[in-house]
């Protein structure tokens, strides 16, 4: 049953539209990059304060994406109004600056697995926001899929151990999901006028400008020269792969697939992040992880088929 609204780009597939195999392969790559990002973020947080890490990551990502935008711009005749520019920059502050600040703040107060579990609640928020805006319709099958995935998240909560998680970490991570859900829903409307490279370039410029004061404040207070190569490589990974590459994939998929279907892939992050964290950070496989992971995968399938 089709769940997109009449104005959604995926209701009528054009001859040039990408195949589902290509789209979902890219989404799997995106989830893999984001799953590893939780572990990489933990490594970077050993040497960077959370706010500074978010600011440096955003600044590097902005620098990396500008050449991509310039090359793309040469082949495009797109024009923007002042209102378009303002909307794109605000979207960047919302979806980039706040999202990445809340992500690293939450990760600094909790474990990799728990952070990924809370982030997995984001597709529920996306579906509800999209339904309120009329972008998507709720169906019983989609609601059932969300329910199964949430059940998996609840089971995964049982794997928490004393000292690994906190209310503060939960709140920050939940806020990360809220602002990214808003970025997803409002970003889908922006993508009807602008391509993914344009949207992400303005978003990262807006995010970098918003977080620039954090870098300036730390120039004379933080010893950048003392940061190890491993920490700098971690920041580079977070900026290039989990930010620029993954956001471009996310926006590209968002222009062809309903917002809730794209965001539903976030349900895979708890399982992927925890499996990566086992050999690198020493986290353990538990029964709740196995059961919750199975429920989460079932929920993804049901929601996607909704």
pLDDT single digits (tens) 19-67: 778 888 898 899 899 999 999 999 999 999 999 999 999 999 999 999 9
pLDDT of residue 76: 64
Report the mean per-residue pLDDT for the chain: 80
Is pLDDT of 283 > 90? no
What does the pLDDT read at residue 29?
A: 92
Closest-CA residue to 283 (of 39, 73, 67)? 39
Residues in CB range of 140: below 8 A, 6 or more apart? none
pLDDT band at 145; cut points 50, 70, 90: confident
Q: How confident is the model at residue 111 (pLDDT cuts 50, 70, 90)?
A: confident
pLDDT at 9 over 80: no
So where are the chain's domains?
20-304
Closest to 32 in 3D by CA, of 245, 216, 202: 245
Which has the minimum average pLDDT: 103-112, 126-135, 213-222?
126-135
Q: What is the pLDDT of residue 4?
A: 32
For the chain, percent of residues with pLDDT exceeding 70 = 83
Model confidence band, residue 152 (pLDDT cutoffs 50, 70, 90): confident
Is the per-residue pLDDT at 122 higher than 80?
A: no
Q: Write phi, then psi, for 161 (nearest 5 degrees).
A: -120, 155
Contact 273, 39 (CB under 8 A): yes
pLDDT tens digit string along 220-279?
899 999 999 999 999 999 999 998 998 888 888 877 877 667 766 766 777 788 888 888
Q: Are 306 and 145 in contact (CB under 8 A)?
A: yes
Ranked by mean pLDDT, the top range of 23-32, 134-143, 145-154 is: 23-32
Structure tokens at 104: 């690293």
Give residue 75's pLDDT. 64
pLDDT at res. 164: 58
**pLDDT over 90 for what percent of the chain?**
25
Residue 16 buriedness (CB in 10 A; 0-12 / 13-18 / 19+)? exposed
Q: How many CA atoms lie within 13 A of 283 on its CB side?
A: 26
Higher pLDDT, 164 or 239: 239
Determine the Cα–Cα distance for residues 266 and 281; give it in Å rounded to an integer: 21
Determine the angle formed by the axes of helices 50-74 and 229-239, rounding to 10 degrees.
50
Whether pLDDT at 12 is above 90: no
Tokens of 158: 């049982």
pLDDT in tens, 57-83: 999 999 999 998 888 776 666 677 777
Q: Which of 62-71, 100-109, 163-172, 227-236 has the lowest mean pLDDT?
A: 163-172
More confident of the two residues 80 and 162: 80
* Average pLDDT for 207-216: 92
CA distances to 9, 71, 216, 262, 303 from 258, rounded to whole Å, are 8, 28, 39, 7, 11
Categorize the per-residue pLDDT at 159 as very low, low, confident or very high, splitting at 50, 70 and 90. low
């Amino acid at each position: 049953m089709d769940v997109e609204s009449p104005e959604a780009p995926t209701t009528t597939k054009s001859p040039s539209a990408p195949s589902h195999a290509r789209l979902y392969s890219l989404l799997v790559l995106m989830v893999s990059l984001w799953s590893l990002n939780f572990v990489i973020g933990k490594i970077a947080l050993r040497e960077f304060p959370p706010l500074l890490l978010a600011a440096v990551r955003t600044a590097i990502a902005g620098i990396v994406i500008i050449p991509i935008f310039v090359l793309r711009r040469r082949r495009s005749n797109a024009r923007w109004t002042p209102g378009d520019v303002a909307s794109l920059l605000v979207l960047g502050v919302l979806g980039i600056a706040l999202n990445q600040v809340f992500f690293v703040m939450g990760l600094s107060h909790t474990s990799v697995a728990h952070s990924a579990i809370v982030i997995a609640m984001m597709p529920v928020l996306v579906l509800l926001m999209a339904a309120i805006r009329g972008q998507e319709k709720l169906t019983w099958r989609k609601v059932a899929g969300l329910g199964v995935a949430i059940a998996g998240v609840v089971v995964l909560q049982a794997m928490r151990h004393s000292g690994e998680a906190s209310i503060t970490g939960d709140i920050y991570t939940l806020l990360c999901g809220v602002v990214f859900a808003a970025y997803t829903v409002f970003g889908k409307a922006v993508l009807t006028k602008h391509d993914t490279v344009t949207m992400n370039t303005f978003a990262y410029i807006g995010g970098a400008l918003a977080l620039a004061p954090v870098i300036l404040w730390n120039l004379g207070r933080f010893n950048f020269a003392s940061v190890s190569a491993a920490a700098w490589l971690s920041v580079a990974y977070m900026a290039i792969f989990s930010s620029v590459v993954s956001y471009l994939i996310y926006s590209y998929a968002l222009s062809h697939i309903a917002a809730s279907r794209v965001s539903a892939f976030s349900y895979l992050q708890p399982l992927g992040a925890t499996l990566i964290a086992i050999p690198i950070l020493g986290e353990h496989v538990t029964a709740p992880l196995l059961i919750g992971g199975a429920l989460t995968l079932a929920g993804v399938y049901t929601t996607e088929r909704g």
